[in-house]
Structure 1
Amino acid sequence: MNSLRNMVHDYLKENNGLNDEELAYALRQYVPSTQAVSLICRQLETEGVLKRIKRVGKPHGNYVITDESQLVPVDVSPTLAITLPTDDELPDIPKGQEHVKELLKLGFKWVGDFTLTDNTPTFFVGESNDINDILLVLTIDGAVVYIQNSPRSLGQTLATISGNSPPAHLQRYNTYLRATLQRGRHVQIYILKDPGGLKYTDFRISLCSGLFPTLMEHFRPVWNKNVNDVLAA
């Protein structure tokens, strides 16, 4: 039987440049988690078989180094000096909240968790990766700590928040996420997909855009600046 290492290597030969999550999803029948793929890819890099390259606004890409060419894409990700908040600087998480029950009643669904790999936040959301036009909610211990309305795919949205080079308007959330994960706490990912089809006369109405300020006011997530903190990621 082909080993998981060889399966990852062979798949990358045909699909060079995939990130760990994309590989894990493609090989989901055989791979238990994104973390398993990450470990294999790092081992392959140690062996000189592939190169893991940082990319602007995206997770690491895994590029096989072939005999025909030793050229791989250049790491174009700018270096950011990320200073993580201290315990006192992290926002307090509300205790005893039952926010998740409310989210489920609204139609939100849990799609995965953030985890920490090599001090970098990683995620695996499976088939939900390509869902776009969403309301994204992050929770800790059942409390809503972050809400974002995003027209982009879930995978792109999460990668932008958690990457090593987040845009300026997301850097604070990135540091909160990293500091929380480093303290061993679980950050769960919930989404609500805009159903589409809602119209006023001939104009389309976005359910997610309409719900966003209402949910911000109701939950008052501690990672968001304030109830008017509308992110355009």
Structure 2
Amino acid sequence: MQSFPPELIGNIVEAVDDTPTLLNCLILSRSLSFHAIRALYKSVTLDGERLQAFREAVEANRHYARHIASFSIRHTRSPLRNANIRSIANAAANHNLNYVLSKAPNLRVLKMRLTTWTWADFEASLGPSTQCPWKLTTLVWCDDRSPLELIVAHQGTLEHVQIDRLACQGMAKWGHSFKKLSFPNLRSMRLPYGPRVEPEALGMRKEEWKAAWTTVVEERDGLNMLWSRIR
């Protein structure tokens, strides 16, 4: 019986979307293990409570993180009431997160939900002579912190941007806007509209928000802009 070509077997393993199956592949053979690792690390979704364990896994096998193309994390904020202890816990979570992300040069999709992470803190953790290797194409930001510094750093590669209502409110409050930014590759932007988030505050024309009360798709300068409006 003719055997399957190794490259075909590799493609099949990397197309598997079932963690138990991929974990079994890790112990079957070295060749299957290579492709299983690529599949397991290609798209990573974590809760805050699993961040420490994931950081330890990356520390033990740093080359694994090179396979990460999409990274999504949520709930890294400490629920502790004591402010000092909560601050220490949040700093520890950010330290772990900074380490993991710094080892993922092929990251393209970043999704942040309910974290205390900031772009400025991440840049500081890299050191003065180190540049971030990412070329982000998609950013989903569901938080109350402004993502403007992150967006500015990746405005040349971003294709899709989604920003939560609280973050937009914060941007408007702090005077952060998209004015003077260039998005040569942007295909869509999803933003909320509400009484505290006015288009002008984010650097956009008000008439762009008037077409409907639900998601609006318009073309502006050849781009598809999605305005998600909250009544």
- For the aligned pair, the TM-score class normalised by the smaller chain equals under 0.3
Answer with 1 or 2: which has the greater Rg: 2
User: What TM-score do the two structures reach when normalised by structure 1?
Assistant: 0.25
Structure (1 or 2) with the greater strand fraction: 1
User: What TM-score do the two structures reach when normalised by structure 2?
Assistant: 0.25
